[in-house]
Structure 1
């Protein structure tokens, strides 16, 4: 596949600046809404209490913390609905599902239940787009702003890149949407592939 960014590098943002800009941009999102592509199979999320419990091998506590967040999750998507934009996500899932993804898919399922709809695509479905490099971790706000999440070698969020070229943002948004349209709805994928799994065994 040709370079999805068309050679554009974007503006590098330190995390504090990125978080502030993202929050402002999110609540200014217009049509066609917020679209996110998640490609990597493993991340580390220090500061996330559920992930930290999972990382310590306490699956039951990790799941309890996720369930305890239902009220906040519901309120978050109620606010998105109030602001009038859609929130969609494509998650690439390779088989066999590794422990991190097993954990993350529980959170994504909750998002899906409250309106942040998620669809799953397989590595095989995107193989033609990854002949040179893996697809990036990107998310678009309307057609005005796009972010690329940049992770270190351990899978911890390190920085972000911000893109504001409307043609580039629109092209990437449409790419994510095209993947979404061929993806499997998360609820059915979860029932078939995740709900049947035993608690993961951490190394």
Structure 2
């Protein structure tokens, strides 16, 4: 069903509307599921990403590490509410500069409690005959009102989302995301094996 989401009707939320809707549902969720398929995005609001794009790899990593303290507080808030975050992050080698950078950031998130696995894009090639799988975020598993977003981007920058509330559809997609997540490799094993010793990325390739 994940591969069919692009053809299903759903209201479109602009960026601010999506952020407001997300905040309203996130903090009452029990479990969140994220499918992250795209290999290149732009995050101009992140000083670490900006440093990476400017060719300052050491600075980008220092700034990423500097985000740890804020993420510790975020994880404490999640733990107080009993919210579990799970993410499957797709990769394709050779890595894009964005992906190499993001895997450093996500490893910090995983060290602090987010449950992240890594899966090669080849694992879903059979589902992508027409187009890539969308970026999907599901908030809530056993809550009264789960919500699912197909996240949208404009020129690689977050621009909003399409919103789904049908419980049966959400449950089917959740099971599919969960199955992919279970097939992936824990990022805390993947990162030291495949990423940690790589040279700085060549941002000119993107």
Structure 1 length as normaliser, TM-score? Answer: 0.94
1:167 matched to which residue of 2?
A: 168
Q: 1:151 to 1:3 in 2, by over 3 A?
A: same
Q: Structure 2: which 5+ residue stretches go unaligned?
A: none
- Pairing 1:19–2:19 present: yes
What does 1:36-185 align with in structure 2 at a 5 Å threshold? 36-143=34-141, 144-152=146-154, 154-185=155-186
SS, match of residue 4 in structure 1: helix
Describe the shift of the 1:6–1:18 C-alpha distance in structure 2 as closer, same or farther (beyond 3 A).
Answer: closer
2:4 and 2:116 map into 1 onto residues whose CA distance is: 22
Q: Is contact 2:110–2:187 with CA below 8 Å preserved after alignment?
A: yes
User: Residue 2 and residue 38 in structure 1: after superposition, are their counterparts in 2 closer, same or farther (change >3 A)?
Assistant: closer
Per-residue CA distance 1:143-183 (angstroms, 9 max, x = gap): 4101111112x211122111111111111111110001110
Q: Matched residues in 1 for 2:45 and 2:129: separation?
A: 35
Secondary structure of 1:43 counterpart: coil
How many residues are paired up? 200
Deviation at 1:2, TM superposition (A): 7.7
When residues 48 and 127 of structure 1 are mapped into structure 2, their CA distance, relative to the original with a 3 A threshold, is same
Distance (whole Å) between structure 1 residues aligned to residue 193 and residue 118 of structure 2: 12
Give me the whole-angstrom Cα distance separating, in 2, the residues matched to 1:7 and 1:66: 37
Query: 1:99 & 1:186 partners in 2: Cα distance?
Result: 18
Structure 1 distance, partners of 2:5, 2:161, is 14
SS in 2 for 1:97: coil
Distance 1:90 1:2, change over 3 A: closer
Specify whether residues 107 and 94 from structure 1 end up closer, same or farther in structure 2 by C-alpha distance, changes over 3 A only.
Answer: same
SS of 2:196 mapped into structure 1: coil
Query: Structure 1 stretches (4+) deviating beyond 2 angstroms?
Result: 1-9
| Larger proportion of helix | 2
Q: TM-score, normalised by structure 2?
A: 0.92
Which runs of 5 or more residues in structure 1 are unaligned? none
Question: Closer, same or farther in 2 for the Cα pair 1:6/1:170, shift >3 Å?
Answer: farther
